[in-house]
Structure 1
Amino acid sequence: MDDLIDIRDVVRRTGLTSRALRFYEARGLIAPLRTHTGRRLYGPGELERIAQILALKRAGLSLAQIQRLTAKRPLDLKRLIEAQLEAVASREAELAEAKALLLNVKSRIDRGEPVDAATFCSLIRNGDAVMAEENWKKVTDRYYSEAEKEEWASRMPALPEGFDMQAYNRQWEELAARIEAALPLDPKSAEAGAFYDEWQALLAPFRAVATPAMMAGATNLYNRMDEWQGQQKPPFSMAVWQFIGEVGACRAG
């Protein structure tokens, strides 16, 4: 019992808050002993587990990913690392965009232009939109012929009247985030099938206006995401895209 310490000592040693430790406990990540009065006691094993959690968080893993990794269940560690590297690359691209936006605003200030908070926010919003549009153009120029781009441009107006593209993009981001949090997942499972059905339902507006050749071109674009995701942030990670492909292959098989 001499090697057991209470939660105050764990807070002092790790820098974590007692609230964080209780949250980890509620998630099943750690399991301290309890005295008859309910006092939490942490032994060497729990301290080592806390150290593992902190190390994995430094690598950018979510608590859900850490929970699966430390539960000692079968896990494709290589795939998990690849997915995390993609997420890091995406964040690097976001930071590069943020730096470019800030430098643009700074240059205006250096020229003596008046920039208040409202103007600053407006410049950032406009800069985000312009930069995203320019980046996507660079990507599509690389993977689509002029004829293919013209075909997309001619068919896009056929989307339903009042179609809200921003809300549609948010739906993709939300679905991708839920899938990412659930990975790794058996592509034959009921949960995987439900995700696949949601994915296909979101694709429905574009399937309604796109030709099979156009859909094949989009599939090729995302199959080669690793070539361009540092240039433009995709709506989902390569891990999510590959997972959807696996589920589709299971359905087809």
Structure 2
Amino acid sequence: MNLSPTETARRFGVSIKALRLYERRGLLNPLRSQAGWRTYGPDQTARLHQILALKGLGLSLTSIGQLLSSADTLDAVLGMQDQALVQEGRRIAKALALIRKARAKLKTGRTLSIDDLATLSKETSMPSKLTRPTLFHPAFVPHQHKYFRPEELDALASQDGFDQEKDIAEWEALIADLKLLTAKGDPASPASQELARRWLAQTESFTKGDQILATKLRNMTKDAMADPATAAQMPYSKNDLIFLGKIFEALTAP
């Protein structure tokens, strides 16, 4: 059964104006009835769900369009939602525990310290303060499901000491330095060798020496770089990765 624009908007909680915007941006292509009216069938509503899910997770319409051009996107988007909701559930559970602990303290006649109040403000503010709703860069979304089940992604994000905001900042700094060194073109320079050591240390801090995990990450990166839709969204270019390989070769050269 196909839906009219009005029924589609009502059932998915969007405006008809939004449907037209997604159509203009090439994200959503409605069918046409014999009379020429727009209608939305199963494929169109599945696509609309993906658009709304990715938009709700903070991606721009441009990024959404590029991600949706890849195959098997619906499963990838559902996996992305799965991961984000599990992370949000964990955050809510932690916040509830802090609130209940604070209330229990008040019931005994004690007051909340500055540290107590600061922790409550930091950990219970809404919405979630996750820097990014996915463990990996959003460009990996169409590819990560080939290598990681949702529960595996959740386990990785739950590692002791893992701080997503800090992890992103460190990778951004490494990639910025890689781009500068790629432009200079000397893989054996002291700065390049120092970058190689920093890159390896950052990778080791995440993989904990797990070579199977490291291989999955390399293969996922290769897939993302080989896909034009996601390669354009990656934080580094093919030339950057080629130069990084040369840096590692220079590091291990006798």
| TM-score, scaled to structure 1 | 0.42
Higher relative contact order (CA 8 A, sep 6+): 1
| TM-score, scaled to structure 2 | 0.42
